[in-house]
Structure 1
Amino acid sequence: MRSVLIAAVAGSLMLGGCTTNPYTGEKQVSKTAIGALTGAAVGALAGGKGHRNEGAAIGAALGGGVGLYMDNQEKKLRAQLQGTGVGVQKDKQTGALTLIMPGNITFPTAQSAIKPDFYDTLNSVAKTLKEFNKTTITVSGHTDNVGRDDYNMKLSQDRASSVAAYLSSQGVSSSRINAVGFGKTKPIADNSTEVGRAQNRRVEISINPPESV
């Protein structure tokens, strides 16, 4: 009975959960449907004998709700940040969103004071974070491998703290925000080339899904 229930939920979600990716033009199952299906399975397994139907229904509602919440937030951020140089990535496993802000558009060289012309971009981010206020936020600073380790670690922390403080000044609750510097320890590109080093000099804002909405 449990497998039949999960299969039924899966079928209905797959039928109603297909969307067209606006960036590739391909058909795909929406994150909301995946979240709801996962929630249904977990709910059914955790529901216990005699309560599996209820567990599956509750799990589907919670999973779908969180998935939809993050989907809507992603769409809004992509629209707001188009053309700003800020990248938006989504973790397919956790649903977390990451905003990648290259150092050259965010800060002057070797400084932690935000460039004035980047305020509008951060204002847009803050507006969305206030609207979707059930998430937690991790601001992380990163550098290339040029220079002393202690200098890079301090610069990355100062830059992360600057972004976190600015978001807080725009009304995002400081209790939701954690700022951390990683220095050169988490490169995303090859530090042996200037192009790679430029990619590594960045600040990331990770937006973590809530447990429920």
Structure 2
Amino acid sequence: MIRSTILLSTVAVLGLTACTTGPTGYEDPNAKAKTGALVGAAAGAVAGRLAGGNDVGERNRATVAGALIGAAAGAAIGNQLDKQEAELRAQLGNNVGIQNTGDRLIVTMPQDILFATDSASLSGGLLGDIKDVGSSLLQYPNTTVQVIGHTDSDGDAAYNQNLSQRRAQSVANVFISQGVPAGRIQVIGRGEDQPIASNLTPEGKQQNRRVEIVILPNA
């Protein structure tokens, strides 16, 4: 039974991996869903095995059942993210970045367009895009949303931390005004602690000044 479980898991992993690859330049439109299924299967297998008790046969049966349930849930999440990503790409402007990691969407907006220098008051530049994201959050209610503010390293670190928190809150307030429940939203200020580029160049600093909206499907 143990060997059967290992064999089944190996075949499933190899099968899903093969489905997500192809000729150079080919992009599988279902890749994220398949990745979600793979991740879900692994998590489900672990959970099932832990819940299987002390009997070896029961543990193995629970492992297989958990993998199947986890794969189905993971594929559903992947499909939802693919659909939401496509809709957001069609709605949002070129200044907004969207990354689909397979288990979450990360929407990145540059603070230089969102806010004036040293201000946490939203300007009109990307307000329409923020509202489009809010509408998407209403359309996909079974998600948790993290709004995360980031700054460059110029100035006092404590001041940057506070500013990033207030800017993230300003974006979250737009979502709340649209009807997104405040309980779904986590507001986080990272200040200068998580740069994505060098703070030694103006271009790098500009990339670091950003607000990230992380959309996490609920399990």
SS in 2 for 1:105: helix
Which runs of no fewer than 5 residues in structure 2 stay unpaired?
none
Residue 122 (structure 1) aligned with residue 130 (structure 2): yes
Change (3 A) 1:108 1:56: same
Corresponding residue for residue 75 of structure 2: 64
Which runs of no fewer than 5 residues in structure 1 stay unpaired?
none
Alignment of 1:64-143 (within 5 A): 64-83=75-94, 85-91=95-101, 95-143=103-151
- Bigger drift between 178-187 and 55-64 goes to 55-64
CA distance in 2, matches of 1:8, 1:196: 44
C-alpha displacement at 1:36, in angstroms? Answer: 1.6
**1:30-56 alpha-carbon deviations (Å, 9 max, x no partner):** 111122233334434525435345333
- Bigger drift between 4-13 and 119-128 goes to 4-13
Change (3 A) 1:165 1:8: same
Corresponding residue for residue 171 of structure 2: 163
Change (3 A) 1:156 1:3: same
Corresponding residue for residue 27 of structure 2: 27
C-alpha displacement at 1:127, in angstroms? Answer: 0.9
Whether the aligned pair in 2 keeps the contact of 1:156 and 1:183 (CA below 8 Å) is yes
CA distance in 2, matches of 1:154, 1:41: 39
Code of the aligned partner of 1:27: E
Runs of 4+ in structure 1 over 4 Å off: 7-15, 17-20
Identity of aligned residues (%): 41
* TM-score, length-scaled by structure 2: 0.81
SS in 2 for 1:182: strand
Code of the aligned partner of 1:2: T
Whether the aligned pair in 2 keeps the contact of 1:2 and 1:44 (CA below 8 Å) is no
